[in-house]
Amino acid sequence: MTGPERRTAIINQIKTSSAPVPGKALAAQYEVSRQVIVQDIALIRAAGHDIISTNRGYILHESHLVERIFKVKHTDDQVEDELYTIVDLGGRVRNVMVNHRVYGHMEAPLNINSRRNAVEFIDDIRSGKSTPLKNITSDYHYHVVEADSENTLDMIQEALEEKGFLLEQEEWEKELFAK
């Protein structure tokens, strides 16, 4: 078994276990040293999995975030207002997506969860290096927004609607994102 295969198996084992999984047991199961397991766990964490070490073994910290896809439209000058609206209400803009008639579905990660992240993104755009992805679809675009509760997402939705940024998704769009 290769290292990446072992790490995938370890993730799956920790995810599906109802009890903490001891490192010693993982080492015995995969016939490697305990130190190799510690290194595997570090690599798994670096890949974005929230593994917690307890005195009884490893557990996966389950995120209690909820998410919603918002279809929005605004000008380049309103990007800052849109992002601030979302993060100020406790949201995280995970990505931006467009559906282009020729190029199809395109998506880029943003991971903006603070005004500071928003300013960095906006500064990059304003520096002239590139333009927002929304510009290739006449300003129509989508964001997956994460938050701690449906209530927070409802507040974000209401605020985007009040600002005139929010658009209703058509049936084909709902089906596209349900996949």
pLDDT digits (tens, 9 = 90+) for 134-155: 999 999 999 999 998 899 999 9
62 is annotated as contributing to ligand binding:
no
| Tens digits of residue pLDDT in 39-84 | 999 999 988 888 999 999 999 886 678 999 999 999 999 999 999 9
Q: What one-letter code names the amino acid at 99? A: N
71 and 46 together in one domain = no
Show Cβ contacts of residue 79 under 8 Å, excluding neighbours closer than 6 positions. Answer: 122, 125, 132
pLDDT over 70, % of the chain: 98
Q: CA of 60: how far to CAs of 30, 34, 67, 139, in Å?
A: 19, 19, 20, 39
- 100 among annotated binding-site residues: no
Instruction: Supply the pLDDT for residue 61.
Output: 80
Contacts of residue 179, defined as CB under 8 A and 6 or more positions apart, other chains included, come to: none
Q: What is the CATH number of the domain that holds 159?
A: 3.30.1340.20
Question: Is 71 found in the same domain as 50?
Answer: no
Number of domains in the chain: 2
What is the pLDDT, as a whole number, of residue 179?
Answer: 57
Same-domain pairing of 41 and 114: no
Q: Nearest-CA neighbor of 110 among 100, 99, 121, 119?
A: 121
Q: Among 28, 60, 92, which residue terminates a domain? A: 60
Pair (55, 101) in one structural domain: no
Instruction: Report the pLDDT value the prediction gives residue 65, as an integer from 0 to 100.
Output: 82
Do 71 and 54 share a domain, yes or no?
no
Domain residues for 99? Answer: 66-178
Q: Are residues 54 and 83 in the same domain?
A: no
Answer yes or no: is 49 a known binding residue.
no
64 annotated binding-site participant: no
